[in-house]
Amino acid sequence: MLKRARVLLLNAALGPLDYRVDPEHRVEPGSIVLAPLGPRQLAGVVWEPERMPADAEVGDNRLRPLVGVYDLPPLGAPLRRLIEWTAGYYLAPPAAVLRMALASASALDGGRTITEYRLTGHVPPRLTPQRAQALERIGERQGLVRELAMIADVSDAVIRGLVKAGAIEPVEVAVDTPFAPPAPDHAPPALSPAQAEAAAALTAAVKRAAFAPFLLDGVTGSGKTEVYFEAVAEALRQDKQTLVLLPEIALTEPFLKRFTTRFGHAPVAWHSDLRQSQRRRAWRAIASGEAKVVVGARSALFLPYRALGLIVVDEAHETSFKQEEGVPYHARDVAVMRGRFEGCPVVLASATPAIETQHQVALGHYAALGLPDRHGGAQLPDIAVINLLKDPPPRGRWLAPTLVAALAETLAREEQSLLFLNRRGYAPLTLCRTCGHRFQCPNCTAWMVEHRLMARLACHHCGHVMPPPRVCPECSEENSLVACGPGVERIADEVAALFPEARAAIVTSDTLWSPAKAAEFVNRMEAGEIDIVIGTQLVTKGYHFPNLTLVGVVDADLGLSGGDLRAAERSFQQIAQVAGRAGRGEKPGRVLVQTREPEAPVIRALVSGDAASFYAAETEARRSANAPPFGRYAAIIVSSEALDDTVATARLIGRNAPAVDGMAVFGPAPAPLAMLRGRHRQRLLVHARRQLAVQDVIRDWLGALTWPRSVRVTVDVDPYSFL
C-alpha cells in the first residue's frame, strides 16, 4: 500500500507534488484526491512517480498528509497515458490537460441533490431595471444562482434579491438519476449492400476490442451515420462505452433525434451549454460506466470513460476540432491516440476527408471504408458555375440573375433553398464616404462588423461592440457611413426585397447558439415553415432536409483569399459539404456556385465531381513544399500589452533559435492579427521535417530563456490558424 503519493494537482503553474498517505486512506495511481496546498485544498490525481518526475525530492518526514480520497473510480491508465501524451506533444502543462478530464468540479463531491432556481411567475411590484432584465432573460431556464446571474448578465445579489421577493424559487434537483440505456436492437435500419459491408467491418473491430483506426469515407447523404450506428450497437451489446465527437454543439440536437429513433433512448450529451447539474450528472455517469453512449464536443475526449469500446469522430475534416485556446490540441488526432491507449477502434467519418487523413490511409495506417452512392437512391446534385464576370448581379446586389431565377423556380415548386455565405452580420466593413474612415476594433487588427439585427458593430475576435454611429468620428459628417460588402444579413435583405412573400431564416452562430435553438430551426425546416435559409458554415454539415433542392454559394472565392496552406482544401470541403445539403430526398438537387474564377482548380474539381484529382494535386503541392502531412509546423506566438516587450521577447527567441538539421525558423514578424484583445502579437514559425522531435527542440530552446512576466509565449504544434 502506498505510504507516499505523487499527486498532479489541478494547478497548471505547479509540477507534481508528493504527499503522505495516512493509513485511513487507500490510494493507487489514478485515485482522485484532495491535497493541501499552502492554506488551500486542491483536487489532484495520484500518478506513477517514474512517469511524472518531481522538481525536487522531499524527505518523508517533511511531507504533508493528503486530506482525503474521493469516492470515485480512479482515472484509468489509458487516460493517464493520454494526458501525458497530450501534454508532451502539445507542450502543455500536464495539469492543464488533467483539468479537461476532471471537467466538473461539483462532480467530485458526493450528495445526490443540488439546489437550482427558476421563476415562480410572481412579478414583484417596483422592478429595478436589473431585476426586470433578469426576469426577462431567465425565462424558462433553471440553474444555480451563478448560472442565472450569468444568463441575465446581472450580479448574484440581484438574483438573490429576486429569491427573497418571491419571483424566483429554489428547486431540489436529483443529479445522479440514472440515464436510460440505449437499446442496440430497438430499430435497426435496412442497409444497402455497401453500408452493410462497411458496418460489418466496424462491428468486427468492436468485437476484437483492439486499436484500429478507420476512415469512413462516403459522399454527403450516403448514410455514414447508419453505418457507424451499427458499430455503436455492437459496443452496447459488449457493454462498452462509445464516444461520438461532433464538430459543433448546434449539430447535437439533430443527432440526438436520429440516435433516439435508432436506439430508443437518447445518448448522454456533453458540451459547453450544459448546466452545472447536468455536467455533474454526465461526468459521474461517464466515470461509473453507466453512460453508454456519449455525444459531445471535442472536450468530451478527455473524460474518464470507465470502459471505452469505440470512438467516432463525425465530420472529421472539420477545422473546429482544432482547439485554439488553452491547450491547443486537435481533437481528431487526440481521438486516434485515445483509441490507441484504450485499445479500441476509432472511426473518422467524412465526405471530404482531410489530406492528413487520406495520407494515413495511403500509408496503410488507417483502413478505408467507402460508401460510393447516396443512400436510398438519391442522386448527387448537379453543380454549375455562375461566372460573376459575365453574369453579374445588378449594382449594389449580390445575387446574379441566374441564381435569382433559380430561387424563383424553387419557391414556385414549394421547395426549399439555401444560400451560403461564410460571413456573419450585415457587412464586413463600414466606412465613411466623405473621409474614408474605417471602423476598426480598438483591441484587434480587425474591422468592426455591422450586425443590423442587433443594431451594433461587433469585433468577431474579441467581442467588442459599439452602437452604430450616426456621425463619422473622424470628420463629423452625418449620414456618411456606408456598409461595404455582404454578410448573411445583407443577403437576407436582398432576398426580402426580391421575394417579399418568401419566409427566410438566417442561420449563423449568432442565431443558432444553443442546441435548443438548433432544434427549433430543424423543426421549422421540417415543418416547411422556411423557404430560404441564408447561412454560414454552420449549415454546411450534418443537416438532412429532403425538401431542400437548391443551394446557392454566394461567393466561392471568399475562402481562397486567406492564403494559408489549407485554403484550397478548406474551400473544397466547405462547398462540397454545402452542396451536399441539396437533393437529399427523392427530389433532385441543384447547386449554383457564384465565382469570379471559374477556372480555379477548386471550382473545376467541384463542377466535374473529380475530387480525386484535386486531392492528388493538393497532396503533391504539400509534398513539394514539405508541408503537413509531409513536414510539420509549430507556431510560437509572443504577446503582451506592451509592444516593446513583445518585440524584444520575440527577438530574443529568434536570436536563440537552435541550429538543428531539418528545421528552419521564420520570423519573428508581426502576426497577421498583430493586435488581439488588446495584446500585441509577434509570431515565429518553425518548419521541420516529420521525423524531427520538434517538441523536444522547442522545450529546450524556450526553457533556457526568460522574459518579463507580462509576456505570454504560447506554442501551437500543428497549427491550423495562421493568424
Using CB under 5 A, list all residues that contact Zn ion: 432, 434-435, 437, 441, 443-444, 459, 461-462, 464, 472, 474-475
* Grid coordinates of 590: 441543384
Q: Residue 320 or 434: which CB sits closer to Zn ion? A: 434
Q: Residue 461 or 604: which CB sits closer to Zn ion? A: 461
Closest CA to 621 of 640, 602, 641, 634: 602
CB of 465 to Zn ion, least distance (A): 10
CB of 433 to Zn ion, least distance (A): 8
CB of 299 to Zn ion, least distance (A): 25
Report the alpha-carbon angle 265-267-273, nearest 5. 130
Q: Residue 477 or 520: which CB sits closer to Zn ion? A: 477
CB contact at 8 A, 492 and 453: no
CB of 435 to Zn ion, least distance (A): 3
Report how far apart, in Å, the C-alpha atoms of 141 and of each of 117, 271, 305, 510 are: 9, 17, 29, 19
C-alpha gyration radius of the chain: 27
Torsion angle, CA of 619/620/621/627, rounded to 10 degrees? 60
Distance CA(65)–CA(231), nearest Å, equals: 46
| Residue type, position 516, single letter | A
Distance CA(93)–CA(257), nearest Å, equals: 38
* Residues in Cβ contact with 164 at an 8 Å cutoff, skipping those fewer than 6 apart: none
Instruction: Output the CA torsion sign for 24, 29, 32, 36.
Output: positive
Q: What is the 3-state secondary structure (H, E, C) of 245-297?
A: ECCCHHHHHHHHHHHHHHHCCCCEEECCCCCHHHHHHHHHHHHHCCCCEEEEC
Q: Return the SS3 of 572.
A: helix
CB of 449 to Zn ion, least distance (A): 10
SS3 percent helix, strand, coil of the chain, rounded to 5, is 35, 25, 40
Q: Residue 462 or 502: which CB sits closer to Zn ion? A: 462
* Grid coordinates of 547: 425538401
The residue behind cell 459539404 is 577
CB of 91 to Zn ion, least distance (A): 27
Q: Residue 238 or 443: which CB sits closer to Zn ion? A: 443
**What is the β-pairing status of strands 113-119 and 68-69?**
unpaired
Torsion angle, CA of 371/372/374/379, rounded to 10 degrees? 170
Q: Residue 423 or 590: which CB sits closer to Zn ion? A: 423
What are the φ/ψ torsions at residue 303 (nearest 5 degrees)? Answer: -75, 155
CB of 566 to Zn ion, least distance (A): 24
CB of 687 to Zn ion, least distance (A): 29
CB of 474 to Zn ion, least distance (A): 4
CB of 671 to Zn ion, least distance (A): 14
CB of 576 to Zn ion, least distance (A): 32
Q: Residue 86 or 430: which CB sits closer to Zn ion? A: 430
The residue behind cell 443590423 is 452
Q: Residue 474 or 520: which CB sits closer to Zn ion? A: 474
Q: Residue 288 or 440: which CB sits closer to Zn ion? A: 440
Report how far apart, in Å, the C-alpha atoms of 299 and of each of 249, 290, 324, 695 are: 11, 19, 12, 23
Q: Residue 470 or 655: which CB sits closer to Zn ion? A: 470
CB of 187 to Zn ion, least distance (A): 48
Q: Residue 168 or 481: which CB sits closer to Zn ion? A: 481
Q: Residue 204 or 435: which CB sits closer to Zn ion? A: 435
Report how far apart, in Å, the C-alpha atoms of 226 and of each of 202, 231, 349, 369, 714 are: 12, 9, 11, 14, 41
Other Cβ atoms less than 10 A from the Cβ of 172: the count is 10
| Residue type, position 616, single letter | A
